[in-house]
Amino acid sequence: MTDAARKARWIGQLKSAGIGEAAVDLRHILLAAADDAHVDDMVARRARREPLSHILGDKPFWTLDLKVTPDVLTPRSDTETLVETVLKHAGDKSAALEIADFGTGSGAILLALLSELPNASGLGVDISESALAIARENAFRNGLEARAVFRTGNWADSVEDNSLDIAVSNPPYITSAVIDTLEPEVRDHEPRIALDGGDDGMYVYRFLLPELFRILKPYGRMAVEIGYDQAEAVSALAGAAGFADIATTRDLGGQPRVVSGHKP
Ligand SMILES: C[S@@+](CC[C@H](N)C(=O)[O-])C[C@H]1O[C@@H](n2cnc3c(N)ncnc32)[C@H](O)[C@@H]1O
């Protein structure tokens, strides 16, 4: 079989499994695979709707290369909007800022921020010990381990009052009933604990926003990722928690993606 015929066969296999970006996925697989047998195996996994990030074992995020396994949410490019929003408001980038990321997963947000803020140090909290093992590996992989600590915990429970300059989170915010309607890559392969935001998707924001207010220093900033239809409700919760200067930032697709504010 010629190269072109083999490629056409692999693309056909992916397309008939319902994968829209078959050619793009195949290009990534070809770059990662050692030989044709390896490509066959990776294409078969992708055709069973395993996420490409799980098959390749990594995912670029911001300027970083992150290890990804089924234990962590695959970082989304939309989440880079949160990183941008925080950096825009960070003021003096060389300051010794204290940052925390709640529900850190792969460590994506915290590590991206530390990579841009050379004197900052950060805490990543997650309830999943297996996610934190990946986050720690990612800190080493990107040379940020000296400034990043990862700790098991329930949101901000173990963090002292008035202790942080920046507090961020991309909490689970998908309505429970919607999860079963999502693409198989997400529904069957990503940790449900990373997705499920309860009956109305707002479960975590209700207690997390007052918690972020509690742990921030005066003038400290918070930023949380939101679902496309949650800007108004999350902004209202941020206002009720005491935050000022509350703003929504849109992602590259034009959808509301981040709510941020500062502690007066
Ligand atoms: C939407 S994922 C975000 C992962 C990562 N920060 C990102 O943006 O790619 C939400 C994360 O919250 C974590 N999580 C869920 N419940 C938690 C809890 N009670 N305390 C701390 N983290 C929790 C999940 O394990 C998951 O890693």
Q: Which residue's alpha carbon is at the smallest distance from atom 10 of ligand 1?
A: 194
Per-residue pLDDT at 1? 78
pLDDT for res 10? 98
Shortest CA distance to 225 belongs to which of 189, 252, 199, 250?
250
User: Is 111 inside a domain boundary?
Assistant: yes
Q: Is residue 166 part of a domain?
A: yes
CA 172 / ligand 1 centre spacing (Å): 6
In a domain, 53, yes or no: no
Pocket-testing residue among 61, 82, 109, 127, ligand 1, by greatest number of atoms within 8 A of Cβ: 127
Task: Classify the phi-psi angles of 242: left when phi > 0, otherwise alpha if psi is within -120 to 50, otherwise beta.
Answer: left
Question: DSSP E strands: which ranges in the chain?
Answer: 58-61, 64-67, 98-102, 121-126, 148-152, 164-169, 216-225, 244-250, 256-262
Is there a single domain that holds both residue 39 and residue 67?
Answer: no
Q: What is the pLDDT of residue 41?
A: 98
Q: Which domain holds residue 27?
A: 3-48
Q: What is the mean pLDDT of each run of 10 residues along the chain (264 residues)?
A: 92 96 97 96 98 98 98 98 97 95 98 98 98 98 98 98 98 96 96 96 98 98 98 98 98 97 98
In this structure, are 15 and 79 located in the same domain?
A: no
Instruction: Provide the pLDDT for residue 85.
Output: 98
Q: Do 44 and 134 fall into the same domain?
A: no
Residue 20 lies in a domain: yes
Pocket around ligand 1 at a 6 A CB cut-off: 73, 75, 79, 102-106, 108-109, 125-128, 131, 154-155, 170-172, 193-194
The predicted structure's pLDDT at residue 21: 94
- Predicted pLDDT at 100: 98
pLDDT score for 91: 86
Same domain, yes or no: 227 and 130: yes
Say if 224 falls within a structural domain.
Answer: yes
Verify that 203 and 239 share a domain, yes or no. Answer: yes
Number of folded domains that form the chain:
2
CATH code, domain carrying 66: 3.40.50.150
Question: Do residues 120 and 114 lie in contact, with contact meaning Cβ atoms separated by under 8 Å?
Answer: yes
pLDDT for the residue numbered 69: 98
Output the CA 44–ligand 1 centroid distance in Å: 30
Tell me, yes or no, whether 258 and 161 share the same domain: yes
Same domain, 24 and 128: no
